Amino acid sequence: MGLVKQGSVSAGVLFLSTLFLCCAADVQYYELFMREANFTQLCNTTTLLVANDSYPGPEIRACRGDTIFINVHNQGNYSFTIHWHGVKQPRNPWSDGPEFITQCPIQPGANFTYEVILSDEIGTLWWHAHSDWTRGSIHGALVILPAQNETYPFPTPDFDQTIILQSWFNRDYKQIIDQTLASGLLPPEPDAYAINGHLGDTTGCPNDTLFRMQVQYGNTYLLRIVNAAMNEEKFFAIMNHTLTVVARDASYVQMFTTDYILISPGQTMDVLVVANQNVGQYYMATRPFSDGSAPPVNYITTGVFEYINSVGGLNASLITLPAENDTNAANNFTSQLRNANVTQNPPLDVPADDEINTRVYIAIAGNTLPCDPSRCVQGFRFAASLNNVSFVLPRIDILQAYYNMSISGVFTEDFPLNPPEFYDFTGDLSSLNTAAVQGTRVVMLNYGDGVEIVLQATQTGPGGSHPIHLHGFSFYWVGTGSGNFNNQTDPTTYNLVDPPLINTVHVPGRSWVALRFFANNPGVWFMHCHFDRHASWGMDAVFIVRNGTTAETSILPPPPGLPSCPSS
């Protein structure tokens, strides 16, 4: 089935929840065409590389356990890759997508067919470019419906609607990061934010449009919310309506009601809302959240939850959202996430204390690196690191080098499992030397290892929170706490009973989080901050899971047509 949308901005179609029929272990086929298109927003016309002429890109629908073949055609002016965010891709890192980690980019005029293997994921995920900042304009939802003869763990909603939260720039996204890295300076702030490609009615440009979701009184709607913003965590709410959270990162959670959600870049959330208020028009609204000293621009972006046959206007004074720096609101929301004990979720499989073979304690830091003053006016450039290693992308992808074994010098197997220096990570670090070392260092894991990763936020740079994403796995978020992690006392607070199973974790500022999983997916898997400025600066690492002892626990052979590396 082909995906070819025309027009400038994706309209946001309501889907009847039973419209897409699922068959047992089906195979789906799609085509995506990436090319430049013009978009007029903020009274300005911008040329962007997009999928099938739309922003956001087409929505891909499949059923749990399906395999999807997606032929991606590069008809644009520069190269890119595509990542299927949150899909575990069992034994199949070849189609995971991060540039120079598992593949080299698709060059202009070329194409590559990704094999996306779904396993136990259910609900909402998304796909996006994974090169430079190109994901800012190339992204879309990936909806995974219940398999044949499978039901939702709640009454079937009447309709579902995808909501994609975005950052809008009046410039090409790749040009932004290229110029930022060349100058060593901070990247610019977004010119606006968007909901499904619409900038709302607060921008001051009369041609900007509102995303409108038409609803029928009495119906229940499943919102599939994706935060595709570049560097901004987001609060989201619908005025006068209660939201019921039912899933996070394609895994069901214990349902809870709330007036708002907090969603970080990379995260997805499934939320029920009932159209049970007086017939009318109600704002849906989003704004950034930040707990650091350099918050993003604080725009409120609006859409409309519009009852059919409603009359009357909208009142912007009625918009209520937590304040941009409301850490209590952020923490109160995330603390409610718990794994749901339902048959539609995979059986709980949290590594016990005596099953942990590898412990990794990672300090997340903002850094600086030397830079030629003729290029960087301040004599240094901004950087970022994990355990003081600022990651350097190679020019041959790590997966190819690892799989072939005959290619050397691409990476080293010495990523530090602990910070090289212990200090008061969450204290006053104004006098700390923030220089980092550069390298392409990986963590080696044996197949089946029980792994614990503790992520420690630090007050280096502006401090604040980080959304950390691990490819190839969903992990159990078993613990969180403020201050510096104490490996003697803090593990006693872990939730090993019903921790949420997620793929992107919000690490609060001045705090730590603990994650556990079994390394049962052989391959090369990227871990990085989903604030793209941080990932571009080196806040990344790679985990390589060695093959097991059988063919069924080993990496699949490479597919035909893998893009060639520029140097090969």
Distance CA 429, CA 425 (A): 8
Whether the per-residue pLDDT at 51 is higher than 80: the answer is yes
Mean pLDDT of 121-130: 98
> pLDDT for 168-186, tens place per residue?
999 999 999 999 999 999 9
Distance CA 78, CA 238 (A): 39
Whether the per-residue pLDDT at 66 is higher than 50: the answer is yes
Per-residue pLDDT band at 319 (split at 50, 70, 90)? very high
| Least confident stretch, 19-28, 157-166, 182-191, 254-263 | 19-28
Q: Which helix (H) or strand (E) holds 482?
A: strand 475-482
Q: Quick check: bond before 56 cis, omega within 30? A: yes
Question: Higher confidence at residue 461 or residue 493?
Answer: 493
Task: Please enumerate in sequence order all residues whose Cβ is within 8 A of that of 444, keeping only pairs 6 or more positions apart, or say none.
Answer: 413, 544, 546
Whether the per-residue pLDDT at 415 is higher than 80: the answer is yes
79 and 108 in contact (C-beta within 8 Å)?
A: yes
Tokens of 48: 């962007």
Tokens of 452: 């614990």
Question: Higher confidence at residue 309 or residue 18?
Answer: 309
> pLDDT for 135-155, tens place per residue?
999 999 999 999 999 999 999
Q: Are strands 501-502 and 475-482 parallel, antiparallel or unpaired?
A: antiparallel
Per-residue pLDDT band at 407 (split at 50, 70, 90)? confident
SS3 assignment for 58-74: CCEEEECCCEEEEEEEE
Q: Where does 191-297 show beta strands of DSSP type E?
A: 192-195, 211-215, 220-227, 233-238, 243-248, 251-258, 261-263, 268-274, 281-289
Per-residue pLDDT band at 317 (split at 50, 70, 90)? confident
DSSP assignment of 405-474 equals SS--SS-BS---SS-SS---TTS--TTS--B-EEE-BEEEE-TT-EEEEEEEE--STT---EEEEETT--
First-residue to last-residue Cα distance in the chain: 34
Whether the per-residue pLDDT at 381 is higher than 70: the answer is yes
Whether the per-residue pLDDT at 10 is higher than 60: the answer is no
Mean per-residue pLDDT of the chain:
94
